[in-house]
Amino acid sequence: MPKLKKSGGSNHARPLTRKKLIAFCLSFPGAYEDYPFDGITDPGAWTVMRHRANKKSFALFFEMDGKLCANLKCDPFEADFLRQVFKGVTPAYHMNKQHWNTVIIGSDVPEGELFRQIENSYGLIKPKVRKRK
């Protein structure tokens, strides 16, 4: 697993960009970026981060109301907890609201926490290793 980089302070010092978030996601084994809804050159395109082996998505980056957002898969109990703790975490836009959250980038969610949520989302979709009998 990639190591999480701690934020050096305020979220406003160096705001996270879509490019930085994609690069972080690509550090996971088997991860790739996909643009199923738009062209890659479209600045408002939905970027979908998937696992190559099973094609499951673990992060979707998009803009809504001029803000960069991320849809991330989450355990239902943790999803609800995060919504209560952070104003910048809401039930996911255009996704199953029980298992997905939308995180507004640059909100009250610290950078390190955002990276933890991305790593957690990847862990929920990565292929399970089967034990041989």
In a domain, 1, yes or no: no
The tens-digit pLDDT sequence of the chain (133 residues) is 333 333 334 444 577 999 999 999 999 999 999 998 876 767 778 999 999 999 999 999 999 999 999 999 999 999 999 999 999 999 998 888 889 999 999 999 999 999 999 999 999 998 887 776 6
Distance CA 71, CA 61 (A): 7
Domain count within the chain: 1
CA 48 to chain centre: 9
User: What CATH number does residue 34 fall under?
Assistant: 3.90.1150.30
- Give the domain range for residue 74: 18-109+121-125
56-59's contacts with Cβ under 8 Å and 24+ in sequence apart are: 56/125, 57/125, 58/25, 58/31, 58/118, 58/121, 58/122, 58/124, 58/125, 58/126, 59/21, 59/25, 59/118, 59/121, 59/122
In a domain, 104, yes or no: yes
| pLDDT for the residue numbered 3 | 39
In a domain, 48, yes or no: yes
In a domain, 115, yes or no: no
| pLDDT for the residue numbered 36 | 87
Distance CA 31, CA 17 (A): 18
In a domain, 130, yes or no: no
